[in-house]
Amino acid sequence: MITSTRRKKSAVERVTSDPVSRRKFLLLTGGTGSAAAFLAACGSDSNDMSSTAASSSTMGGDTAASSQFGEGDLGIVNYALTLEYLETAFYNDVAKSGLFKGDDLALIQAIAKTEQQHVDALTATAKKLGGPVAPEPKAEFPLKDAKSVLMLAATVENLGAAAYLGQAAAIESPDVLAAALSIHSVEGRHAAVLNVLTGQEPTPDGAFAQGADMSTVLDAVQPFIS
């Protein structure tokens, strides 16, 4: 008797290898150029294992970290939800701090509203996947002055975008992947705006963004969890 040891393909691998799934994914994401570029960057074939090796490297730091969120797509959704809780709390605290006024305050409030929508969408997705839903952590952020807060905001958004990208290859459901990609795109746009406001390059990684594994991201946000 031969027992198969082949691992289950992720959504990215299924989409890139199946033309029908690829077309469906592009329809789900609106057929955008960014979606096509995402597939090209994440795809691999039997003759080129470099992207698979990169995925394994990125997800290597996820084994221990994922235990607190659970396995599979639900675990990834709850991980993302935890980050969105923190982002929402951060921007709400900044908006109430009195450090920003006028157009600057309006930008902060607009981003806060978007992050809350991400929380709502991910909460609904976790419930749809059978739950449980990750609880909201208590958070505290250093809000000393406008300049340092903007720098922290840029760091938070760049980290958020990297977190979504770091999990893309592990997501099994094309629908969850499409949702994650749509949020990743918004996080990247937030990051680009804040990077420019703080005198940084809009895309610090260059033409291709770099993902971050769970351990790296969680270590970065741990100082803000009270």
What is the domain partition of the chain in residue ranges? 61-224
What secondary structure letter does DSSP report for 222? G
Cα–Cα distance, 136 to 216 (Å, whole number): 20
Superfamily of domain 61-224: Ferritin, core subunit, four-helix bundle (1.20.1260.10)
- pLDDT of 196: 94
Going from the C-alpha of 206 to that of each of 87, 148, 156, 213, the distances in angstroms are: 24, 24, 18, 19
Which of 100, 90, 74 has its CA nearest to residue 157? 90
Q: What is the pLDDT of residues 21-49, one digit of tens each?
A: 555 544 444 444 444 444 554 544 434 43
Encoded tokens for 106: 């309006």
Mean pLDDT, all residues of the chain: 80
Encoded tokens for 213: 């594994």
To 5 degrees, how large is the angle CA 117–CA 123–CA 126?
140
- pLDDT of 70: 80
Phi, psi of 48 (to 5 degrees): -135, 105
List the chain residues with pLDDT less than 70.
1-66
